[in-house]
């Protein structure tokens, strides 16, 4: 077996950028360092004041000069989309590769421009490349979805995906999409790693006071607001929930990239019962989960049978919270997620049924506690970072051996 001394990660998003994939990449890097692997991260410099080079938690972080693109609907108005694929940055990356001499290149997210840099380095250096597809190109808009389809087939299938030695898929839905969209490409199913620190009592008290949550029944919804995750159903369910629980609050933690939910809240007169907290530091998430009665959000770009749980939902389950989701029960394997046992599945578009489900759960403390305990056990058993890191290392070794045998 080839000794793995160094891995080079390519990811347009990395802390201090707050996103599910950036946190996953940072966590994987730390786990690899614990196992004695040198880890190098190449990312985009999109946050003002962030250093071009840092050494944090044993990870070498290089941030490339980047041109921040304006917020556009095609990119869900996400503010961190940037352009880095320039001759100067290619030369910078080449010097970083030569300096650290990695045995593996690992690209995260295939639709951003660092994908082209990663593929170029793979071609020039012959170092094996694996790609993790954290999410795929899909949009609820019919017109934009056609544009995504063309971009994916013309610019990303052969130039990026088919250049990889293996595609890492975090769940069954992504793996199925990969096969349908890109054909017969080698894939490996490696779930996300989930770990959340239990919050200190002082932090919980601080969070309650900061947002006026003392004495409230809290429906927490974690994740950025955009067209694919607009919280429409949750907001429309709130009037019915408030009839039974006037002290209920829908607390949405995430940057707002669409005006729709704010306008909907105003239309329904829910300004005092829906809190748009904006992007919150990841260190605040455990305290928010601690005080929440429920966590609920879902993507609406696909029908539930093709939808996965978000990282935020898995983190909520880790801390023993009941999660409401519109997702595929077999996302992580047959029988792992069981409705009413360790999760509660809901049907999108049915706000009356959603409100009834929320009310029933808020009324039954014992049921919420039981589901939450089972949820926590599920995450601890199947999504530990120790297991996820070992599975990732096996993918690396297989890619290295595959490359060596050619």
| Cβ–Cβ < 8 Å for 160, 116 | yes
When pLDDT is cut at 50, 70 and 90, the band that residue 140 belongs to is low
Beta bridge partners of 226: 229
- Provide the pLDDT for residue 282: 81
| pLDDT surpasses 50 at 192 | yes
Residue with tokens 């999109």: 46
Rg (CA), the chain: 21
Residue 397 in tokens: 């070794």
| Cβ–Cβ < 8 Å for 105, 8 | yes
- Provide the pLDDT for residue 74: 45
Q: Is the peptide bond before 16 cis (omega within 30 degrees of 0)?
A: yes
Nearest Cα to Cα of residue 44 among 98, 97, 81: 81
Q: Each residue of 267-313: pLDDT tens digit?
A: 999 999 999 999 888 889 999 999 999 999 887 767 888 888 888 89
Report the pLDDT averaged over residues 377-392: 94
Sign of the C-alpha dihedral computed for residues 286, 61, 390 and 129 taken in this order: positive
Q: Each residue of 210-237: pLDDT tens digit?
A: 999 999 999 999 988 888 889 999 999 9
- pTM, entire model: 0.82
Q: What is the mean pLDDT of the chain?
A: 91
């Amino acid at each position: 077996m080839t000794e793995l001394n160094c891995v080079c990660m390519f990811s347009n998003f990395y802390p201090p950028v707050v996103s599910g994939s950036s946190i996953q990449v940072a966590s994987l890097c730390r786990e690899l360092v614990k196992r004695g692997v040198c880890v190098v991260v190449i990312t985009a410099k999109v946050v003002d004041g962030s250093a071009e080079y840092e050494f944090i938690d044993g990870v070498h972080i290089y941030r490339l000069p980047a041109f921040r693109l304006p917020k556009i609907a095609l990119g869900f108005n996400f503010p961190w989309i940037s352009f880095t694929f320039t001759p100067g940055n290619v030369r910078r990356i080449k010097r970083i590769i030569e300096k650290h001499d990695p045995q593996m290149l690992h690209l995260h997210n295939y639709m951003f421009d660092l994908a082209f840099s990663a593929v170029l380095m793979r071609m020039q250096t012959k170092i094996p490349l694996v790609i993790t597809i954290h999410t795929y190109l899909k949009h609820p808009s019919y017109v934009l979805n056609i544009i995504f389809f063309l971009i994916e087939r013309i610019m990303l299938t052969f130039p990026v995906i088919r250049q990889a030695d293996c595609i890492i898929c975090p769940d069954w839905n992504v793996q199925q999409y990969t096969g349908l969209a890109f054909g017969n490409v080698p894939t490996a199913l490696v779930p996300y790693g989930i770990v959340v620190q239990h919050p200190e009592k002082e932090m919980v008290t601080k969070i309650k006071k900061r947002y006026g949550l003392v004495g409230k029944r809290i429906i927490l919804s974690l994740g950025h607001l955009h067209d694919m995750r607009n919280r429409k159903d949750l907001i429309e369910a709130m009037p019915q929930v408030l009839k039974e629980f006037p002290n209920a609050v829908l607390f949405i933690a995430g940057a707002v990239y669409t005006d729709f939910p704010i306008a909907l809240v105003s239309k329904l007169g829910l300004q005092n019962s829906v809190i748009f907290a904006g992007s919150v530091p990841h260190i605040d998430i455990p305290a928010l989960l601690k005080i929440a009665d429920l966590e609920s959000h879902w993507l609406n770009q696909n029908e539930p049978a093709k939808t996965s749980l978000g990282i935020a939902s898995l983190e909520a389950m880790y801390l023993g919270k009941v999660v409401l989701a519109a997702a595929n029960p077999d996302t992580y394997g047959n029988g792992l997620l069981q409705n009413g046992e360790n999760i509660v599945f809901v049907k999108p578009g049915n706000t009356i049924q959603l409100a009834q489900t929320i009310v029933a759960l808020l009324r039954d403390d014992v049921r919420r506690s039981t589901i939450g305990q089972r949820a926590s056990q599920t995450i601890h058993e199947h999504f530990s970072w120790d297991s996820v890191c070992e599975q990732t290392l096996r993918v690396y070794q297989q890619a290295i051996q595959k490359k060596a045998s050619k």
